[in-house]
């Protein structure tokens, strides 16, 4: 397996008829492909979307019959929506074998969520933080189970800033905000895995690669130029959506849970820690720092207003 491996190649011969999977952001791009691939192997899906009608249309176009799966409204930028969604799943869904925290935003204009969090940190990290923790009892009851958190090589742009996570004292930079949120995604997986592995729930962060999806809808010439300043000029090698979603389904279904638990994965494999800044693969050490992960967890609990066990 490698960068060009597709979802269907990863799941060839895998029977998922007894599997229930929840996917956020299942109305476009990687979310739709992840749903299609899992459904093709028999999985039953709970699909979180902001717009159910849009989700049904996108899934049908991909060959997934939305009528046989469970589409529900979720806005990760609104903690009340997250709580309502999670409460509904806990009440209605009997088991949960896999949760793919796929939804996200990238390089957005400066803004805040409904709960006054910086948009990217609030949506990409805090929304998923609350969602997964609210669904943790179901994951534990269904163990062995897994959580796959969509991170990005963009975590290399910036570490989390635990003292100023919402740019209240520093000038806003869309790529620094994105980098912080993606580092938070990796750290969340590290600490979640530490907390739940003893009860059979494993968590993994994955980088899907460079893919042309609606995630880039906020990009402008200015933000692209700013990105070049951040990482330097380089040739972009884009994956297909099928290859981009492959690492998610590999980590969530096929990979050895002990090998991927608490790790950062890419190209259907476990990535190492970057020691050469010129390297184009691997994770920066700060994103896998267990003490940093604990500190972020404590701060996240304060922000969402819940002590999560």
> Would you name the residues annotated as active-site residues?
178
Q: Do the beta carbons of residue 177 and residue 105 sit within 8 Å? A: no
Contact 237, 181 (CB under 8 A): no
* Tokens representing residue 107 in the block: 């390089």
Nearest residue to 261 (alpha-carbon basis) of 202, 191, 192, 196: 202
| DSSP class of 166 | T
What sign results for the dihedral spanned by CA atoms 112, 118, 119, 123? negative
Q: By the 8 A CB rule, do 293 and 190 touch?
A: yes
Q: How far apart are CA 153 and CA 265, in angstroms?
A: 10
The DSSP symbol for 22 reads E
Contact predicate 104/131, CB 8 Å: no
Report the length, in residues, of the chain.
Answer: 309
Contacts of 127 (CB under 8 A, 6+ apart): 75, 76, 77, 78, 79, 82, 103, 113
Q: How far is CA 201 from CA 74, 84, 143, 286, 308, in A?
A: 23, 23, 6, 23, 16
Strands (E), 208-293: 210-211, 238-239, 264-266, 269-270
Residue with tokens 């990760």: 76
């Amino acid at each position: 397996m490698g960068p060009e491996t597709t979802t269907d190649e990863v799941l060839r011969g895998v029977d998922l008829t007894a599997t229930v999977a929840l996917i956020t952001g299942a109305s476009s791009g990687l979310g739709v492909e992840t749903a299609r691939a899992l459904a093709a192997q028999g999985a039953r899906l709970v699909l979180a979307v902001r717009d159910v009608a849009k989700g049904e249309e996108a899934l049908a176009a991909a060959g997934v019959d939305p009528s046989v799966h469970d589409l529900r409204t979720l806005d990760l930028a609104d903690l009340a929506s997250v709580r309502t969604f999670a409460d509904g799943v806990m009440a209605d869904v009997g088991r949960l074998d896999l949760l793919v925290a796929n939804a996200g935003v990238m390089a957005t204009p400066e803004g805040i969520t409904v709960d006054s969090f910086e948009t990217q940190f609030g949506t990409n990290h805090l929304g998923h933080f609350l969602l997964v923790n609210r669904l943790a009892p179901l994951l534990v009851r269904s163990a062995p189970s897994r959580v796959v958190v969509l991170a990005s090589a963009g975590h290399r742009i910036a570490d989390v800033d635990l003292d100023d996570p919402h740019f209240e004292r520093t000038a806003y930079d869309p790529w620094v905000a994105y980098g912080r949120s993606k580092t938070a995604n990796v750290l969340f997986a590290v600490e979640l895995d530490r907390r739940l592995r003893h009860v059979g729930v494993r968590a993994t962060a994955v980088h899907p690669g460079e893919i042309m999806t609606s995630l880039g809808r906020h990009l402008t010439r200015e933000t692209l130029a700013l990105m070049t300043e951040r990482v330097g000029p380089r040739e972009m090698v884009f994956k297909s959506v099928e290859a981009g979603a492959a690492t998610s389904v590999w980590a969530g279904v096929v990979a050895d849970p002990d090998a991927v638990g608490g790790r950062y994965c890419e190209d259907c494999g476990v990535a190492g820690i970057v020691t050469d800044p010129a390297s184009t693969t691997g994770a920066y050490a700060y994103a896998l720092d267990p003490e940093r992960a604990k500190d972020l967890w404590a701060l996240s609990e304060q922000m969402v207003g819940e002590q999560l066990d």
